[in-house]
């Protein structure tokens, strides 16, 4: 996976705002080409039209100015009412050959398969995708998959409980003594990405 990430001059991170009282999109340029952190609220239409549950277009035209190398989209598409429109916009702002790095929760993660459910990982997730759905969406919208992997396999579920399946490592076992086990299961997600908790795709924009 690391070999698939290009050494690029410009790398823009786009993610939901982490500030509870400031909704919108956080744009971060870790290399310092723009302000370190910029939160674009939904009302600022000239800068950004953000999916807020009612809109179906993410317009980064003015906000990103010109994405010249790669675009990191971390844990964002699951918040969009229409992931297809979002991926189409990511393609638009990337130049041909540009790299998209996309992470998103897996709709068919192990806990959901055990429950035979499609319970979202978080109640504010509108459109979670499975591994195959995310892969197909990227290809359909003009990307070639360079690399893909999964993060964390939820093997420590409450398997015998009649209640919804929950990962003990993310709840009561989230303690220092469990760190070695956490590391093993984080890596195990790469062995079975279709069942992992989270997905990572590195994709290249076709011309």
Name which residue leads in pLDDT, 79 or 144.
144
Contact status, residue 190 vs residue 145, Cβ threshold 8 Å: no
What's the domain count of the chain?
A: 1
Give me the mean pLDDT over the 78-94 stretch: 87
Other C-beta atoms closer than 10 Å to the C-beta of 140 total 11
Contact status, residue 112 vs residue 153, Cβ threshold 8 Å: no
Identify the pLDDT of residue 102. Answer: 92
Phi, psi for 143 (deg, rounded to 5): -120, 145
Contact status, residue 43 vs residue 100, Cβ threshold 8 Å: no
Model-wide pTM > 0.75: no
Name which residue leads in pLDDT, 106 or 40.
106
Mean pLDDT over all residues of the chain?
77
Identify the pLDDT of residue 2. Answer: 52
- Specify which of 21-25, 130-134, 202-206 reaches the highest per-range mean pLDDT: 130-134
CATH code of 197's domain: 3.40.50
166: pLDDT strictly greater than 70: yes
Contact status, residue 94 vs residue 8, Cβ threshold 8 Å: no
Residue range(s) defining the domain that contains residue 59: 2-205
In the chain, the largest separation of any two C-alpha atoms, in whole Å, equals 53
Contact status, residue 108 vs residue 194, Cβ threshold 8 Å: yes
Q: Output the CA–CA distances (angstroms, integers) from residue 193 to 55, 88, 132, 196, 200, in the order listed.
A: 31, 24, 10, 5, 9
Least confident interval from 11-15, 28-32, 59-63, 172-176: 59-63
Q: pLDDT digits over 2-31, tens only?
A: 555 554 444 555 566 555 555 555 555 444
79: pLDDT strictly greater than 70: yes
Identify the pLDDT of residue 14. Answer: 58
Identify the pLDDT of residue 99. Answer: 86
């Amino acid at each position: 996976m690391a070999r698939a990430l290009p050494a690029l001059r410009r790398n823009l991170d786009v993610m939901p705002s982490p500030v509870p009282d400031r909704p919108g999109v956080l744009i971060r340029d870790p290399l310092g080409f723009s302000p370190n952190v910029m939160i674009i609220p939904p009302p600022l239409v000239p800068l950004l039209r953000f999916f807020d549950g009612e809109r179906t277009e993410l317009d980064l035209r003015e906000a990103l100015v010109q994405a010249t190398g790669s675009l990191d989209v971390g844990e964002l598409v699951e918040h969009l009412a229409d992931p297809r429109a979002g991926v189409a916009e990511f393609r638009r702002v990337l130049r041909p050959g540009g790299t998209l790095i996309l992470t998103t929760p897996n709709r068919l993660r192990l806990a959901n398969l055990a429950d035979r459910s499609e319970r979202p990982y978080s109640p504010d997730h509108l459109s979670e995708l499975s591994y195959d759905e995310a892969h197909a969406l990227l290809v359909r919208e003009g990307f070639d998959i360079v690399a893909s992997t999964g993060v964390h396999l939820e093997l420590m579920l409450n398997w015998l409980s009649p209640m919804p399946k929950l990962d003990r490592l993310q709840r009561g076992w989230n303690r220092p003594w469990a760190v070695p086990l956490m590391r093993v299961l984080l890596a195990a997600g790469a062995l079975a990405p279709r069942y992992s908790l989270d997905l990572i795709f590195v994709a290249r924009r076709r011309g």
